């Protein structure tokens, strides 16, 4: 199974974005993960539509926009217009079904993100309608956190549900992914790895991306 690597731009050097994209574009990472935070759903504010519009000019990679915001429905179409190729929103927000419809209407991949404390079973009603689940393996809102060990069991639980219901969706794991734990995460059932500090703080990020894919 091919593993998609999605470096998280939250860990990039924003004073050197053009340079960051220069090597990202040459890398074997298929996706670039963009965390949008509103300071309400999570206790942090990151970046929004204007930044993504500018980043879009720097890369043709798949832009995976992760909305950690309270009212995703107000902005889904705007983020699509800014350059998103996939959008995930949190199941903990309201009106999940309409959010799915809005993403689908844009003609891009749809994901549902789920926080560490939220039961996996809450995803079941929506799994047939989405392309991937973004399973948070850290508390959302800040980069550089340590992987929550119990996330492995949640990945396995989600894979069991996927197999039992015979539904085709990807399992994305977001938070604390390293070269040391990537094998366990992939073996549990993940097919998309979001990696922030592991990639951007590496002395050889291109090689690190390749190692994550090869594990």
13 part of the active site: no
**Which parts of 9-131 are beta strand (E)?**
31-37, 62-68, 86-90, 109-114
Is 85 within 8 Å of 63 (Cβ atoms)? Answer: yes
Which residue among 13, 64, 170, 174 is the active-site one? 174
Give, in degrees to the nearest 5, the angle at Cα 153 between 152 and 157: 120
Catalytic residue among 35, 64, 95, 210: 35
Q: Are 155 and 188 in contact (CB under 8 A)?
A: yes
Residue 98 DSSP SS3: helix
**Is 174 known to be catalytic?**
yes
Q: Provide the residue count of the chain.
A: 215
For residue 172, the Cα-to-chain-centroid distance in whole angstroms is: 6
In 55-186, which ranges are E strands? Answer: 62-68, 86-90, 109-114, 132-136, 170-174
Strand positions, DSSP E, the chain: 4-7, 31-37, 62-68, 86-90, 109-114, 132-136, 170-174, 192-195
Active-site positions read 35, 174
């Amino acid at each position: 199974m091919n593993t998609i690597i999605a470096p998280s731009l939250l860990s990039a050097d924003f004073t050197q974005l053009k340079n960051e994209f220069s090597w990202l574009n040459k890398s074997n990472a298929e996706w670039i993960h963009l965390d949008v935070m509103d300071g309400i759903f999570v206790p942090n504010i990151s970046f929004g539509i204007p930044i993504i519009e500018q980043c879009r000019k720097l890369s043709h990679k798949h832009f995976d926009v992760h909305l950690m915001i309270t009212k995703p429905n107000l902005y889904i179409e705007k983020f699509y217009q800014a350059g998103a190729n996939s959008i995930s929103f949190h199941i903990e927000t309201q009106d999940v079904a309409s959010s799915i419809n809005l993403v689908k209407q844009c003609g891009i991949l749809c994901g549902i993100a789920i926080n560490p404390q939220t039961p996996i079973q809450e995803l079941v009603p929506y799994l047939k309608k989405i392309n991937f689940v973004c399973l948070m393996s850290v508390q959302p809102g800040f980069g550089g956190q340590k992987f929550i060990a119990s996330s492995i069991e949640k990945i396995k639980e989600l894979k069991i549900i996927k197999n039992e219901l015979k539904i085709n969706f990807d399992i994305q794991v977001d938070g604390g992914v390293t070269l040391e734990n990537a094998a366990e995460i992939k073996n549990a059932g993940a097919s998309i790895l979001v990696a922030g500090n592991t990639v951007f703080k590496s002395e050889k990020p291109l090689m690190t991306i390749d190692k994550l894919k090869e594990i």
